[in-house]
Structure 1
Amino acid sequence: MSRLRLMPRQQQPAVRPVRRRSYDQFCATARALDSVGDRWTLLIVRELLGGPRRYTDLHADLPGVSTDVLASRLRDMEQNGLAVRRRLPPPAPASVYELTERGQGLLPVLTALAGWGAHALDERRPTDAVRAHWFALPLLRALDGLTHAGVVEVSLDEGEFHVRTGGGAPAAEVYGFGPAGRPDARIELDAALCLALGRGEVSLAEAVDDGRITVSGDTPLAAEIRGE
């Protein structure tokens, strides 16, 4: 009998299915969804509307996303011209992601989605994560009519964030995380009222008049919010 060893059959590498990247439809909606229709992409845009963010910060404020998926979505966003990655100068040797002008153009899309989706937030489920700055987009709809440009610091039970009003701010910083350095006005309200404002169920003036919003500040923006 032959003593020759039988060589094991060489295994072929597994072939991964090619991910479909386009709807192949000559339609503006389909083309838009080719870029932002994947799960998590628009929520990453929501986070980057607050300004440049590190990967670890994005992962912390997107509970439920895996590291692989987040990295994949960020690569796709870079390839589609929605975001760029850049290195911060010393003494902060870290990389951040930020929206391009095309990515910033998704603000009205996210604002409209927030207004549409606010009607589904009647009750918070036990499994729902929450971050204070997630209420920024619904609130922006209520502040849209303000004529004075400036920074409004917002205080909720869930935390603090700040938004920019009056169209005088760069689109790259629609809102910010945490308290503002030198806000032009400060408002205190609860999350339920914030959503009601986003749904259009109550106006900013009505909520101020009946005391559900407390306004502080001595600037023209603060006076306008108070209705003075």
Structure 2
Amino acid sequence: MGERWGLLIIRDLTVRPQRYTDLFDGLPGIPTNVLSTRLKELEEAGIIERRIAPAPQRGVLYALTPAGHDLEPAVSALGRWGTTQLGEPRPGEIVTPSAVVMALRAAFDPHAAAGLTASWEIHAGDIEVHAAVTEGRLTAGIGPAADKPDLVIDFEPDDLPSYLALMQAAKCGLVKLDGPRELLDSFIRVFGPSKATLPDAPAHRSAALDE
């Protein structure tokens, strides 16, 4: 997993089992031979496994083994640290649904969510993800929510920005809502990075974080 792209493959598989093509599309820039090699290495190491896709799907899915799932706390910890280091998105940078789901999981504040039960569906460009908190416990995934969400949040960026830029848009009210406005405040409180958790400002930090 220390090889190039290895940890990113594990990151995406923590969201859900995926086909080879799903992984390839979600990791822009990865060469096909490198993806094949990393999958083989991770499988041999007992970190991932192949599964037959359930009906009506066909083909093979790659999924984390129990040993692979044991890496999730480490992946989430890296994600939490990463949210404090991101600046403005660079030209050509691509944000994937898996990355947004992982950002939601990493930014989730269980203390702020204590006693909360609510669900959200987030639309941003071509990305559609969902998150639900039930009595303070989080579930988040790609695609629409299984049940009607309490609040649908529509972001309309010209170019899909970073997760932090999405959160800043939410804080500024630059979103369309379908549901109670107060649940947007809950969303920001539960998933938005707190100044109290951020290190002293590095030179490359987005100015939006300090507004």
Task: Bin the TM-score by the shorter chain.
Answer: 0.5 to 0.7
Q: 2:87 aligns with which of 122, 134, 137?
A: 122
Shift of 1:214: 6.6
Indicate conservation of the 8 Å contact 1:81/1:100, yes or no. Answer: yes
Q: Which residue of 108, 116, 124 maps to 1:142?
A: 108
C-alpha offsets along residues 86-142 of structure 1, whole Å, 9 cap, x if unaligned? Answer: 112444331101112221222222222122222443211113122244122232323
SS in 2 for 1:136: helix
2:23 aligned with 1:58, yes or no?
yes
- Is 1:105 the counterpart of 2:66? The answer is no
What secondary structure is seen at the aligned counterpart in 1 of 2:151?
Answer: strand
- What is the distance in 2 between the residues matched to 1:101 and 1:159? 29
Q: Would you say 1:74 and 2:39 are equivalent positions? A: yes
Unaligned regions of 5+ residues in structure 2, if any?
Answer: 190-211
Calculate the aligned-residue CA RMSD, in Å: 3.5
Higher relative contact order (CA 8 A, sep 6+): 2
TM-score (norm 1): 0.62
Q: Is the 8 A contact 1:49 1:175 kept in 2?
A: no
TM-aligned CA distance change 1:109 to 1:214, over 3 Å: farther
1:39 and 2:7 matched = no
Aligned partner letter, 1:186:
L
Alignment partners' CA distance in 2, 1:133 and 1:61: 7
Structure 1 SS opposite 2:100 = helix
Q: Aligned match of 2:120 in 133, 140, 152?
A: 152
Identical-residue share of aligned pairs (%): 32
Structure 2 counterpart of 1:93: 58
Structure 1 pair 70/149, CA: closer, same or farther in 2 (3 Å)? farther
* TM-score, scaled to structure 2: 0.66
CA distance in 1 between partners of 2:94 and 2:184 (Å) = 34
In structure 1, stretches of 5+ residues that fail to align are 1-35
